Chains A and B, each alone.
Chain A
Amino acid sequence: MIPELGLFALIIAFSISLVLSAVPLIGAARNDATLMAMARPAAWAQLAFVSLSYAALTYAFVVHDFSVLYVSQHSNLVQPLMYRISGVWGSHEGSMLLWTLILALWTAAVALFSRGLPEVLLARVLSVMGMISAGFFAFLLWTSNPFERIFPVPADGNALNPLLQDPGLAIHPPMLYMGYVGFSVAFAFAVAALLGGKLDATWARWSRPWTTVAWSFLTFGIALGSWWAYNELGWGGWWFWDPVENASFMPWLVGTALIHSLASTEKRGVFKSWTVLLAILAFSMSLLGAFIVRSGVLVSVHAFATDPARGVFILIFLCVAVGGSLALYAWRSGTVTSTGRFSWLSRETALLLNNVILLTAAAAVFVGTMYPLLVDALGIGKISVGRPYFDTMFTLVAIPLILMMGIGPVMRWKKDNAQRLKKELSLIFAISLSVGIILPFVIDGVLNIPAGLGLAGALWIAISTLQILYKRLKSGARLPLSFTGMIMAHLGMAMFVAGVTMVMTYSEEKDVRLEYGSTYELSGYDFKLIGVNKMVGPNYTGDEGHLEVYDGDNKIADLRPQKRLYTTGSSPMPMTESSVDTRLSRDLYVAMGEPVGEDAWSLRLYYKSMIAWSWMGCLFMTFGGLLAVSDRRYRQKRLPGSETA
């Protein structure tokens, strides 16, 4: 009964989304206030019914309703409650339901927080979001119904992929989806503005907070996924340039460009049509990401769903959404003129450069991810693009990006003076370069130029950013939250650069065979394998190793990595649980391999230098974004026409 109600609620939500996509839009075209006023209640009703549907599926998981095919495939009687709740989004159908729930949440949030918006614009924005929702509801109902029943009803279910039974993963997809889907708001604003033909700086003001919130969630979601892969997969890496990772990274890069471009458009009225294009592009990248992950066309460690019908559906949806909005753009953007004038030495130019660099990076990822797909589709052969390509590209892109991050925020709008910039920055440049180069030598006694340059880059961003903060404080000016947020996010980037540099230049990793009681030395630490014991968990059995790590004669850590065998599924699934000792300066990391001969195991040992800094950097960026959005000026009600663009 409950699952049928869930499906019914989903169908109602779909019908509401159809109403939402059409009625307010017609109202806006005819200037009919009654029709436009439908937008808000429709947004709320849509959210109510998706929530019901989502609750129904969760309920089916919690009470072990194995007559629902999806539940029986991804849960069982001994699965802990937490992983029954998170199991809802553990596979394709449920995660798409989560996607629509989040989309409905964003839509309702726009309805709630946009009181100052002109009715016509709000009607258009909500309509466009309704269209996107309708597309995803149709996708669920026609290709991925999560409420499908099976008969006979199995006595017990299969199991959630053990890989997904981890707290980090439980919140990774919702965070990521909040980001992906959040870019639909900026997209809807852009399309609505194009429809209305009124692309002034106000639409940038309205889109900014939404874009920044979405970006913060995306940043956090990606970092969480990376942290989880590092801890859970036992591979010891934090980024693999896997197509599914790239699928989340492309919208992040374009979204970052969009945030900066929106700033220029709002503050100075420049790059108007470029910003609109970026808003369309950012959401297109989100859709492309959905296509990559959900169609299973790409070879990937993740590759969840492999159903061609789903791939075709999303591909058509992608073409309609991207093609339609670009056509609209081509038709309407000709009328847009940027009002602000600026000299080539100005913050506007710096932000433009920022955009060029970030889009170059996105293009590099795009080529590396999509080219194999194209070659395969054309039947020429099967290829993949190796890691070194991505590493090389990002080193190339990082250099100008880091340089500009030190200069751009110092520059003045409109026109700056080269002499002034030189005076302001040359000392910082000299200090960060020399300290950066010397640091590895001081710590290690050996000069390491790549590490030195990376650290110099991090210092350059950090010192330059802190100097802006210092000047602002000294002048006695108020610190708006949007400014503090920017400072925090940029400092986060500095931490990230430092962490990545150190991890890439100083890490050591080794697969070794260790007998009980024997020791292996890695990066000056002695890893001693004490022994391996049997263990039993709620839905798995396994082996737990015990290692002691010594720095000279001092024991500094006990590590207990596990090798689990999840026994609840149709066939037993082995899983590696690594054990990590984290300090600010380094991680010591052990993952179990398998028994090799008598009383010996193969172990994967890692020394990762300063890897914690890269996660902390991402957290700083996330909170920076959230701080910026809390700024008062976004909360002020603005009556239509009160804006002076």
Chain B
Amino acid sequence: MSMNKRSKRKLLVVMVLLGMALASVLALTAFEENLLYFYSPTMVKNGEAPSERKFRVGGLVVAGSVERATDSLLVKFDITDNAESMSVEYRGILPDLFREGQGIVAMGAFNGQNIFVADEVLAKHDENYMPPEVADALKAAEQQ
């Protein structure tokens, strides 16, 4: 027994504090890294969206723009805020309520060829429901 009770307890307190500090640092990093910003097609056109980082875009699916491959699950479509539009590529199964004219939100990033590749597409489970961001983006585009 080299340490007496008191210094043992001090050591414990220091270790707990260090642990908490480490946890806070990890938490803040995780938080910062996983913040996803939302951009409208207009903002994307204006070059406001990040080129390296993941972000979210939203708008209405442009009528007649949905192209599906017949031999794979690749889907291409355009979304618009009624001012600007942009193309989105997605590989996989789209949500039930994805259809032309529907407000959707896509999460993804630009690839090397400057194409927005989504790894998640969200369409809300209510036919009348418009994602709030999309509603705001439409409003903003209208006012310009």
A381 CA to B72 CA, complexed, in Å: 37
Given contacts A386-B36, A388-B34, contact A299 B133 (CB under 8 A): yes
B115-140 at interface with A (beta carbon < 8 Å)? 122, 124-127, 129, 131-133, 136
CA distance A510 to B72 in the complex (A): 13
Q: Are B30 and A393 in contact (CB under 8 A)?
A: yes
Q: Considering the complex, which residues of chain B in the window 57-86 have a beta carbon less than 8 Å from any beta carbon of chain A?
A: 68-73
A389 and B125 contacting across the interface, CB-CB below 8 Å:
no
Stretch of A129-137, A209-217, A491-499, A594-602 at the chain-chain interface: A594-602
Q: In the complex, how many angstroms separate the beta carbon of B112 from the nearest chain A beta carbon? A: 22
CB-contact partner of A382 in B37, B73, B94, under 8 A? B37
CB-defined contacts of A573 to chain B, threshold 8 Å? 96-97, 127
B35 surroundings in chain A (CB, below 8 A) = 383-386
Interface SS majority for chain A: mixed
Contact with B along A280-300 (1 / 0, CB 8 A): 000000000000000010010
Q: Are A392 and B26 in contact (CB under 8 A)?
A: yes
In the complex, B27 has a CB within 8 A of chain A:
yes
Q: How far apart sit A603 and B73, CA to CA, in the bound complex (Å)?
A: 10
Contact of B93 among A163, A388, A511 (CB under 8 A): A511
Q: Which of A161, A299, A396, A603 has the most CB of B within 10 A?
A: A299
Q: Quick check: B30 and A392 within 8 Å, CB to CB?
A: yes
- The number of chain B residues with a CB under 8 A from chain A is 37
Interface residues of A in 364-406 (CB under 8 A from B): 364, 367-368, 381-389, 392-393, 396
Asked if A396 meets B26 with Cβ closer than 8 Å, knowing A301-B124, A382-B37, A382-B136, the reply is yes
0/1 per residue, B1-26, Cβ < 8 Å to A? 00000000100000000000001001
Q: Cβ of A299 and Cβ of B73 under 8 Å apart?
A: no
Interface size on A, residues (CB 8 A): 44
Q: Is the C-beta of A513 less than 8 angstroms from some C-beta in chain B?
A: yes
Given A344-B9, A384-B56: A303 touches B34 (CB 8 Å cut-off): no
Question: Does A95 count as interface, using CB distance less than 8 angstroms?
Answer: no
The answer to whether B110 has its CB under 8 Å from any CB of chain A is no
Mind listing 15 A-B residue pairs with CB under 8 Å? A163-B125, A299-B131, A302-B125, A344-B9, A383-B38, A385-B31, A386-B54, A511-B73, A513-B73, A570-B127, A573-B97, A573-B127, A574-B96, A591-B93, A594-B93
Chain B positions near chain A (C-beta within 8 angstroms)? 9, 23, 26-27, 30-31, 33-38, 54, 56, 68-73, 91-94, 96-97, 105, 122, 124-127, 129, 131-133, 136
